């Protein structure tokens, strides 16, 4: 069994690069080379290279751990992208030029970003990877931001790295690059721009901040492709479809969407030929996707976890639970200023969630709730309250999260959760078992998720009532009762 590499001859049912990847120099440095980037940005860039060429291959930077690089480097950056829908298909991606990782990844990434050939720095580092508060400013209390502010010449976080690379370019009279945030934050580009300018001002001085403000671009984007974590089956499918062993294969759904503000300082790949939508203002797309897809995802992840459903498709296979997902999608379909049919979008989302070939773990989506819920659930809940539109689905989502945080094992100890605020949340919940105490404890730690408007008044009452029912009767009983109420 040979390992996939640049020397592999095309074989099997997979599609192979229709261009010679090694003829194209890198032009993009991508920070955070997770599965999503490999199923999304790299797939679009691979297509653009095949159609239009250009020096736009990608230098991937793996900021956390070396396992991604260990899979990809022996394969010369090649990997199989498997698409699972009614049929399974696969494509070998050639757009990844190299992967940087390891103990001195910061210095290597800095050098790659400072090189004149780099014209775009893109990011998928998840919500918590930025060091930006949910309100949108630089978070000087974020441990990595704090460390980078103290040592701005040897940064390890994304804001410190981007700023230091721009400082090096300015010193060498190299024009700035475009910074392309591809994470599920609202106004992702604008927020990152504000944080980089703030960091530059604090750590390097206002001359650098002014230079960045004048020349660097930070378009906002909306990204969408459901990408579950690979499993042993992923490797088996890659072998079947390529004839090669691939220890870096990724699998994803057929659907893919990318909406970008067309504001680049130094060119870009021909992404418009690959299905990317370029727009003036991405905000309504972003809002639609964050509130409908991601909001419903978070709701079904917490309620699914509590109802013993390991995968999104298991939630959708339960008719009562699926009714609540549809109710959430309907309540979140309030975005203005788009000529899209939101009801059709909701129907398509329910179908994507139901895809039986995609094993998307509710535990994966449940991670980092404190970073996700403000833009996914709190913002639309407040708007719905003010507009007098249905809020019950948002209360159900937040009650599910609270009950999930307050889960206890057989010995009565809180079940640990994967979240940057896990310690503070566990300390605040402590021994509390009553719904109202849990609500106040969590609201104290996360006022950006549970501001007074949601933790008290009629919404707070609904929240306490729903949480109380989950704690006493269990999630499945509540799902059945709520679904009946929604239908009736």
Q: Which residues form the interface with ligand CS2 (CB under 6 A)?
A: 184, 224-226, 293-294, 297, 364-365, 372
Q: Residue 91 or residue 289: which is nearer to ligand CS2 going by CB?
A: 289
Compute how many other C-beta atoms are within 10 angstroms of the C-beta atom of residue 206: 12
Select 372 or 421, whichever has its Cβ closest to ligand CS2: 372
Please say which residue, 124 or 274, places its beta carbon nearer to ligand CS2: 124
As separate numbers, helices (DSSP H) first and strands (DSSP E) second, the chain gives: 23, 11
The minimum distance between CB 195 and ligand CS2, in angstroms, equals 21
CB of 224 to ligand CS2, least distance (A): 4
Q: Which residue is nearest to ligand CS2 (CB)?
A: 297
What 3-state DSSP class applies to 92? strand
Distance CA 402, CA 382 (A): 18
Minimum CB distance to ligand CS2 smaller for 133 or for 364: 364
Candidates 102, 211, 130, 127; CA nearest to 165 is 211
CB of 32 to ligand CS2, least distance (A): 13
Q: How far is the CB of 7 from ligand CS2 (least distance, A)?
A: 34
Query: Minimal distance in Å, beta carbon 353 to ligand CS2?
Result: 10
Least distance from ligand CS2 to the Cβ atom of residue 187, Å: 16
The distance in angstroms from the start CA to the end CA of the chain is 58
Shortest spacing between CB 67 and ligand CS2, in angstroms: 19
With respect to ligand CS2, which residue has the nearer C-beta, 446 or 471? 446
Q: Which is nearer to ligand CS2, 109 or 315 (CB)?
A: 315
Buried b (16+ CB within 10 A) or exposed e, 364-383: bbbbbbbbbbbbbbbbbbbb
- State the Cα–Cα distance between residues 401 and 301, nearest whole angstrom: 9
Q: Which is nearer to ligand CS2, 184 or 375 (CB)?
A: 184
Sheet of 79-84, strand order = 88-93, 79-84, 250-252
Nearest to 103 by CA among 64, 157, 150: 64
Nearest to 247 by CA among 15, 59, 74: 74
């Amino acid at each position: 069994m040979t390992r996939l590499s640049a020397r592999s001859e095309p074989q099997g049912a997979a599609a192979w690069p229709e261009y010679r990847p090694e003829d194209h120099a890198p032009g993009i440095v991508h920070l955070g080379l997770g599965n999503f980037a490999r199923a999304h940005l790299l797939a679009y860039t691979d297509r653009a290279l095949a159609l239009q060429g250009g020096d736009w291959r990608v230098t991937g930077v793996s900021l956390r751990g070396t396992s991604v690089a260990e899979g990809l480097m022996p394969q010369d950056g090649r990997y199989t992208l498997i698409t699972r829908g009614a049929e399974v298909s696969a494509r070998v991606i050639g757009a990844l030029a190299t992967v940087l990782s390891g103990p001195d990844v910061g210095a290597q990434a800095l050098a790659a970003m400072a090189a004149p050939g780099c014209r775009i720095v893109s990011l998928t580092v998840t919500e918590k990877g930025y060091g930006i508060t949910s309100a949108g400013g630089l978070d000087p209390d974020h441990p990595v931001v704090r460390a980078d502010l103290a040592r701005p010449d040897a940064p390890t976080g994304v804001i410190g790295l981007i700023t230091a690379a721009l400082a090096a370019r300015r010193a060498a009279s190299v024009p700035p690059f475009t910074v392309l945030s591809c994470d599920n934050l609202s106004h992702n580009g604008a927020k990152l721009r504000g944080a980089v300018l703030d960091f530059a001002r604090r750590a390097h001085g206002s001359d650098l901040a002014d230079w960045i403000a004048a020349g660097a671009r930070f378009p906002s984007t909306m990204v969408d492709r459901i990408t579950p974590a690979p499993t042993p089956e992923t490797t088996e499918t890659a072998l079947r479809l390529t004839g090669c062993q691939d220890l870096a294969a990724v699998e994803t759904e057929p659907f893919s969407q990318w909406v970008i503000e067309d504001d680049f300082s130094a060119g870009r790949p021909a992404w418009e030929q690959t299905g990317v939508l370029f727009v003036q203002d991405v905000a309504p797309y972003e809002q639609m996707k964050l509130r409908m897809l991601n909001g419903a995802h978070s709701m079904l992840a917490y309620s699914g976890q509590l109802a013993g459903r390991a995968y999104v498709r298991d939630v959708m296979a339960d008719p009562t639970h699926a009714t609540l997902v549809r109710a959430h999608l309907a309540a979140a379909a309030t975005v203005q200023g788009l000529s899209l049919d939101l009801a059709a979008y909701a129907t398509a989302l329910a179908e994507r969630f139901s895809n039986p070939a995609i094993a998307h773990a509710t535990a994966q989506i449940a991670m980092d709730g404190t970073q996700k819920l403000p833009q996914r659930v709190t913002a639309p809940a407040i708007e719905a309250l003010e507009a007098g539109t249905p809020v019950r689905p948002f209360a159900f989502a937040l009650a599910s999260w609270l009950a999930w945080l307050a889960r206890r094992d057989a010995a009565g100890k809180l079940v640990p959760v994967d979240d940057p605020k896990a310690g503070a949340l566990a300390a605040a919940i402590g021994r509390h078992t009553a719904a109202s105490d849990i609500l106040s404890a969590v609201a104290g730690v996360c006022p950006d998720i549970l501001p007074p408007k949601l933790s008290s008044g009629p919404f707070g009452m609904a929240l306490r009532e729903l949480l109380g029912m989950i704690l006493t009767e269990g999630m499945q009983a509540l799902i059945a009762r709520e679904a009946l109420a929604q239908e009736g």
